[in-house]
Amino acid sequence: MLNLGSGHTNGALVALIPRRKLLIAGDLVNQGLEPYADERYGGDLLQMAQTVPRLMQLDFDFAVPGHGEVMPRAEVQRLADYLVALEAAVRAARAAGKSEDETAALVTLPEYPLLETLFITSRQGNVRKLYRALAR
């Protein structure tokens, strides 16, 4: 078991099975779903945006997500890239003096198609979470 940082909850754990090049990622990674940081349990989207890219330092070919089917490494990389881009876009909007509402409307990241939300999160909601996290 490895703790590369928090994300969905505080102290998210992953397991790497080197012989099979398999990463068991839990809810840090969910196939086709907008990332979700459960703040009730210490989840933090800003930390997730730093933790998921750390997964890419591990030697794996496939990942078992918290929800969805086994995913190839490239899908996990796409999620990591999305989170990094989301954080960068929110940081840039804040630096330009944009309000939370302006940032939520401005940051859409069309290069990353909208992901399913399961009624608990949304792209705009995640923009808002990052905006507030960056104010801490």
Q: What is the pLDDT of residues 65-87, one digit of tens each?
A: 999 999 999 999 999 999 999 99
Q: Is residue 83 part of a domain?
A: yes
- Answer whether residue 136 shows pLDDT above 90: no
- Give residue 104's domain range: 15-134
Spatial CB neighbours of 44, under 8 Å, sequence gap ≥ 6: 6, 7, 10, 37, 133
- The reply to whether 40 falls in a domain is yes
- Please count the structural domains in the chain: 1
Question: Would residue 22 count as lying in a domain?
Answer: yes
- What is the pLDDT of the chain when averaged over all its residues? 93
pLDDT tier at 91, thresholds 50, 70, 90: very high
Mean predicted confidence (pLDDT) in 30-51: 92
